[in-house]
Every structure is written in C-alpha cells, then in structure tokens.
Amino acid sequence: MDIRKGKLIQFRGSWGSGLGFLEVEDSETGVCESVPCDNGATVRALEAAFGDVITPAHTASGDGYKGREVYWSLDEFGLVLEAFTPVEDASPELVNCYLENN
C-alpha cells in the first residue's frame, strides 16, 4: 500500500454526481494533486476529523480542514481516495509504514 503525506488545500464536489476532489499538496515534492473521492463520505470524514467543514446550508464550505496535514492513500486500483488520517492522530504503525515506503 502506498501511503502518502500531504497538506489539505481544497475540497471540491458535486452533490449530484457523488464525485469530489480533495486537493492535497505533497509533503515531499510540494506538488498539488486533485485526488478523486466519494463526495459525501469524504465531506463527512473531513467533518469528523477536523470540524468546521459542513455549514448550516449543508455544503462543504467550512475551512476546518484547510492547511491540515494528513497521511492518505488511494484504493487498490489507484483511482480514488481510500482513506486519510490526520498526522496528529496517526498510529506508530501508520507512521512506520509511511517512512518505510518513502
């Protein structure tokens, strides 16, 4: 599994399509990447992890996640976001896995 580390920049999603994009700045290269993701699930995960994401109008307009560092990975096909973990919540095993592969 390829685990990466980066800073969350922006989330863009379309409620109707179910598709979203989480823009992440890679911690090693500084390159920004738009990572495809499940819109609803990602918004709920961002809200649970950081708060201040879902606004009273039920949009993902809050900025609670912006600038936060996470470990993240793509699914088994390398197509969409599988998971992310805030750096401060990462287990020693996750950190070791990231360090071993980078």
Domains of the chain, first to last: 3-100 (2.40.50)
Q: What is the mean pLDDT of the chain?
A: 93
For 43-89, write each residue's pLDDT tens digit: 999 999 999 998 887 788 889 999 999 999 999 999 999 999 999 99
Three-state DSSP at 81 gives strand
Residue whose structure tokens are 């307009």: 61
What's the pTM value of the predicted model, to 2 decimals? Answer: 0.92
What is the longest distance spanned by two Cα atoms in the chain? 43
DSSP characters over 1-61: --EEEEEEEEEEE-TTT-EEEEEEEETTT--EEEEEEEHHHHHHHHHHHHSS-S-TTSSS-
For residue 37, the cross-strand partners are 20
- pLDDT above 90 coverage of the chain, percent: 80
